[in-house]
Amino acid sequence: MDLLSLARTVKDRVEAPITDALAVAKVVTDPRTPLLLALSTVVVTPLYRAAFLASASGSGVLQCLAVRPCDLDSLVEYLEVPQDRERLRVWLDTGVRLGELDVREGCYRLRSTPAKLLAHAGNDAVAAALEEIMRFHVPALLDAPRMLKEGRRFSLGDQDGTVIARSSLALQGMVQEAIDRHLERATPVRLLEIGCGTGAYVRHAARLNPRLTALAVDLQPEVALRAAANMAEWGLTGRVETRQGDLRTLELQPQFDLVTLHNNIYYFPEAERVEVLERARSFLAPGGRLLLTSSCQGGGNAGLDVLNLWFEYADFGGPLPREDELVAQLEKAGFTDVRAAGIVPTQPFRVFVATNGADGADGTNGTPIQA
């Protein structure tokens, strides 16, 4: 090496760290850097983690890993994706880097506390609620302005009915308390449950009153099928008939002592609610009662605000009800002795009870409305 080359090399070696330090200083002092870092830590990473947990739970991977640690090939087999081994590995390794999974000696296992808790069968409603949030609530927040511009609305097909039916059970404690308070136990009861979801509340009522028989109806075929399978599993097929059907077109005699609508009044547009409630009343025997439970507007609950947003942007439903408005709609639908009450003081969850009295507001005297 000549002297000139040697001098150049020495100069480069000395200058490189200086240049690196300058570059680092430039990046660090960029006014956007703190914002990016804060967003990444406080907003983006938790969102990624939630999305990973939702998909790992929805695909059954969390539940699979809760039984035993699994290597990549076992998970390929479990998910039936033999053609996509490498891409599955990339997804699992992302879960490892997000801190939800761990990998040791080639076997994946659950690492974070949320991952372990969500894998528990007893927490299925919470796991489904997380999936509902990530799959349906996030797109509502994300796409609202674009949907307005495009004149697009969510439809019932945009929901996964079986996920919603499971996530709805996050309200189980409050709905069951409402049933406990209002179900007649001393005499046989004929119950009609509209929008039965999993059928869990029909089962609860059937346990409370052994002489209760029921018709459980749900609009979505896959949900009704699942409910029917649950009834069979719970040994209730002799007492509960399960049907796919739409409240708005059901043809039934006024034969029921109790009609229940749990967590679904917002599946009907506001302008149609009186008619829907009249229809529910038409299935009640004189003196029969309606028990309706629903989350209502207000209460500062972000989850309910976004649920409300989703239904405002749907082409079939409407906003969550307001307590006083729903009471007025029930009265307009001909119910008497309409009452509304809360269960947990801080929760905007309300229980509405109303009677198919002797004199309906429409003068039908409690007889069925003609379709």
Question: Count of residues binding ligand SAM (CB under 6 A)?
Answer: 21
Burial (0-12, 13-18, 19+ Cβ within 10 Å), 331: middle
Q: Which is nearer to ligand SAM, 291 or 340 (CB)?
A: 291
As a whole number of Å, the end-to-end CA separation of the chain is 100
Q: Per rule CB under 6 A, is residue 263 in the interface with ligand SAM?
A: yes
C-beta of residue 81 within 8 angstroms of C-beta of residue 44: no
Q: Which is nearer to ligand SAM, 113 or 249 (CB)?
A: 249
- Which of 168, 170, 156 lies closest to 193, judged by CA? 168
Of the candidates 92, 110, 126, 165, which one interacts with ligand SAM according to CB under 6 A? 165
Q: Per rule CB under 6 A, is residue 220 in the interface with ligand SAM?
A: yes
Of the candidates 219, 340, 351, 353, which one interacts with ligand SAM according to CB under 6 A? 219
Q: What share of the chain is helix, strand, coil (3-state, %, to 5)?
A: 55, 15, 30
d(CA 92, CA 110): 11
Of the candidates 169, 236, 258, 291, which one interacts with ligand SAM according to CB under 6 A? 169
Backbone angles phi, psi at 287, to 5 degrees: 85, -5
Q: Give the strand order in the sheet containing 190-194.
A: 240-244, 213-218, 190-194, 256-262, 284-295, 349-355, 336-342
Q: Which is nearer to ligand SAM, 52 or 310 (CB)?
A: 310
Q: Per rule CB under 6 A, is residue 164 in the interface with ligand SAM?
A: yes
Considering only the stretches 1-9, 10-18, 41-49, 193-201, report the one whose residues sit in contact with ligand SAM under the rule CB under 6 A.
Answer: 193-201
Q: Which is nearer to ligand SAM, 135 or 262 (CB)?
A: 262
Q: How far is the CB of 137 from ligand SAM (least distance, A)?
A: 13
Which long-range contacts does 71-78 make (Cβ < 8 Å, 24+ apart)?
Answer: 71/106, 71/107, 71/108, 72/106, 72/108, 75/108
Q: How far is the CB of 106 from ligand SAM (least distance, A)?
A: 41
Tokens (6 digits) for 328: 């007025």
Q: Which is nearer to ligand SAM, 169 or 228 (CB)?
A: 169
Q: Which is nearer to ligand SAM, 87 or 248 (CB)?
A: 248
Considering only the stretches 44-52, 80-88, 110-118, 158-166, report the one whose residues sit in contact with ligand SAM under the rule CB under 6 A.
Answer: 158-166
d(CA 241, CA 206): 12
d(CA 81, CA 251): 45
CB-based burial, 134-148: b 16+ in 10 Å, e otherwise: bbbbbebeeeeeeee
Q: Per rule CB under 6 A, is residue 262 in the interface with ligand SAM?
A: yes
Name the DSSP class of 300.
-
Of the candidates 57, 242, 264, 355, which one interacts with ligand SAM according to CB under 6 A? 264
Site residues (CB under 6 A) for ligand SAM, limited to 232-261: 246-248
Q: Which is nearer to ligand SAM, 61 or 200 (CB)?
A: 200
Whose structure tokens read 């996509």?
Answer: 84
Question: How far out from the chain centre does Cα 76 lie?
Answer: 28
Q: Per rule CB under 6 A, is residue 352 in the interface with ligand SAM?
A: no
Q: Which is nearer to ligand SAM, 161 or 288 (CB)?
A: 161
Q: Which is nearer to ligand SAM, 136 or 267 (CB)?
A: 267
Q: Per rule CB under 6 A, is residue 85 in the interface with ligand SAM?
A: no
CA distances from 358 to 262, 274, 328, 332, 361 (A): 25, 18, 18, 15, 10
Considering only the stretches 9-17, 60-68, 212-220, 331-339, report the one whose residues sit in contact with ligand SAM under the rule CB under 6 A.
Answer: 212-220
Where along the sequence are the contacts to ligand SAM (CB under 6 A)? Answer: 161, 164-165, 168-169, 194-197, 217-220, 223, 246-248, 262-264, 267
